Structure 1
Amino acid sequence: MNQISRLSWENAFRLSDFLCWSVFRVVKYRKKVIFENLRNSFPEKSEAELHCIAHDFYRHFTDLIVETIKFRTATPQCVRERIEGDIGMMEKYYDSKTNIIYLMGHRGNWELANLFSSLCFTHECIVVYRPLQNQASDQWFHELRTRFGAKLVSMDNIFKELQKPRDKPYVVVLANDQSPNPKTAFWTQFLHQETGVFRGVETIARRYNLTVLYADFSKVANKRGYYHVEICTITDKPKEVPNNAILETQLRILQRDIENQPHNWLWSHRRWKHKRPEILKPEQLLR
């Protein structure tokens, strides 16, 4: 990995092209999962259209691999330059001493987004993660994600962490589009499918009265490895909105953004591996 991190960006993307060919054309990594996800999410598209999306996704996927390795040693200036967009609202929230929960989906390069947040936000940056079983990999990502001062906290410990006294406002950063436990998830329609969503965001926002923001990271056309961030406010009054309305709003925005740039999402993930239970508890519904 050290050798890859020292490559120029031009040569890093040449390596990505080779990986794209070997991983998806030769090994055919998760091809069945990718096409099942695409067909279910875009039933109106032809097979030719789906193959175009898949082809672009393959390149995006291997770009993420080499970019992430590069960001392990990239300079702060390089990280700042790779994301464009207006983040001025974050300073306004900081000046008003507003604590924030900052949601993302698996669009763009989320490792870059984490680094960008810890570099460019004045808030204390708390990144929520799920520890990896492989200790070496977990340590590598821990060092990556904390290299510019972010605090890495597992989801199991986030409530305890937010109870600690602080000298300045904080922002909790997390991606919230993984596949959750179906027995505790919020269930809704997403990309034409019954979809479960982690409810932790709702609980955290309500308990600590956090303003909820959503950030989308789209790929900049004809600028490989560059992204554009668009931040919007879901709610600044989380205790006053209906149960699971935060999650519902997040998914509607995420679906819109996926439809606008469909190759820019993690289609290789088994997002819909769980089925909706026949009977749901009240807290699992929008109400």
Structure 2
Amino acid sequence: MQKVLFALLNQVSFLSWKNAFRLSDFLCFVLFKVGGYRKKVIWENLKNSFPEKSDAELKCIAKDFYLHFTDLIVETIKFRTASPECVRERLRGDISIMDGFYAKKTNIIYLMGHRGNWELANLFSSLCFSHECIVVYRPLQNQASDRWFYDLRTRFGAILVPMDNIFKELQKPREKPYVVVLANDQSPNPKTAFWTKFLHQDTGVFRGVETIARRYNLTVLYADFCKVANKRGYYHVDVSVITETPKEVKNNEILDRQLRILEQNIINQPHNWLWSHRRWKHKRPECLKPEQTLSSAEQKR
């Protein structure tokens, strides 16, 4: 059965973009109008994140998100066989900063949130960066699904590394500078997370990014992927420097700086985030360890 499913997905990847988005329209109707996929989760996330907005405004954001979500599905299938030219056409932006760091032989950790199409972002990184591209991921339990995504993400030479193995991977000798690509806006273990306010809510954040950056002295960049207005399936990337001196910034400040940028990006284009994710399923512990916070002097929010 799985072989049939993935054979079908591979056939869908050869659809024209016009027909792919027709399929997305149909999936949107089935998933959300008929099936009501995670509509309660989406609504609660939006309601808590934008308390100043009316229900009518939130419903508009939710409706736009539904279509964005199914577009992500069909786009990801399309990128399984899309040409390098297609990847470059669908995601554009000024990445000259990467060339400058490459010339200085600077190793980088390249952060992103679940905005835009992160599978496209991964392909774009391995295709367009001069750095050796290391993509951090969490393996799927289903082996067939994991293999399908592995083949997708490594199409243009990226090295795919499970999060648990990233420290071992970065200890290997390399002939040229590398960039570690990862998204870190999922829901972490509350007992080890950095806790802060994000979109008006107590929010835990994975601390592994700071550990990696400090241990290997990596320049930290953040990339935002916004949707191009009135051009379905097209995205634009903006790259920000979080810090070039990770060992000198205060504890958790890298993560806090990233979250401030991500928060503003979401406010600017609210339907373009993964609202169906149970991002706030964990509650902030009553007692936090010092390494899980910013001191009141450091945190200005």
The TM-score, its normalising length taken from structure 1, stands at 0.99
Shift of 1:262: 0.1
Question: What 5-or-longer segments of structure 1 have no aligned partner?
Answer: none
Q: Tell me what 1:123 maps to.
A: 131
Residue 72 of structure 1 corresponds to 80
Structure 1 runs (4+) deviating above 6 angstroms are: none
- Superposition deviation, residue 3 in structure 1: 2.1
Query: Counterparts in 2 of 1:201-280, with a 5 A limit?
Result: 201-280=209-288
Distance in 2 (CA, whole Å) between partners of 1:186 and 1:58 is 30
User: What is the one-letter code of the residue matched to 1:117?
Assistant: S
SS in 1 for 2:259: helix
Match of 2:10 among 2, 13, 17: 2
Structure 2 unpaired stretches of 5+: 1-8, 296-301
- % same residue: 81
**1:286 to partner: Cα distance:** 1.5
Matches for 1:60-209 after TM superposition, within 5 Å: 60-209=68-217
Query: What one-letter code is carried by the residue in structure 2 that aligns with 1:231?
Result: V
Does residue 23 of structure 1 match 2:28? no
Any idea what SS the aligned residue of 2:20 has? helix
Is 1:34 the counterpart of 2:42 in the alignment?
A: yes
* Cα distance in 1 between the residues matched to 2:80 and 2:89: 15
Aligned equivalents of 1:271, 1:25: Cα separation in 2: 23
Q: Distance in 1 between matches of 2:63 and 2:44?
A: 15
Supply the distance in 1 between the matched residues of 2:11 and 2:30 (Cα, whole angstroms): 19
Aligned-residue CA RMSD (Å):
0.5
Once residues 61 and 24 of structure 2 are traced to their aligned partners in structure 1, the CA distance between those partners, rounded to angstroms, is 17
- Per-residue CA deviation, residues 53-98 of structure 1 (Å, 9 max, x unaligned), is 0000000000000000000000011001101110000000000000
SS in 2 for 1:239: coil
Counterpart-to-counterpart distance in 2, 1:132 and 1:264: 24
> What are the superposed Cα offsets for residues 155-189 of structure 1, whole Å, 9 maximum, x if unpaired?
10000100110000000000010000000000000
Counterpart amino acid of residue 197 in structure 2 = Q
Equivalenced residues, count: 287
Q: TM-score, normalised by structure 2?
A: 0.95
Aligned-pair CA distance for 1:4: 1.0
In the alignment, the residues of structure 2 paired with residue 142 and residue 6 of structure 1 have an alpha-carbon distance, to the nearest angstrom, of: 19
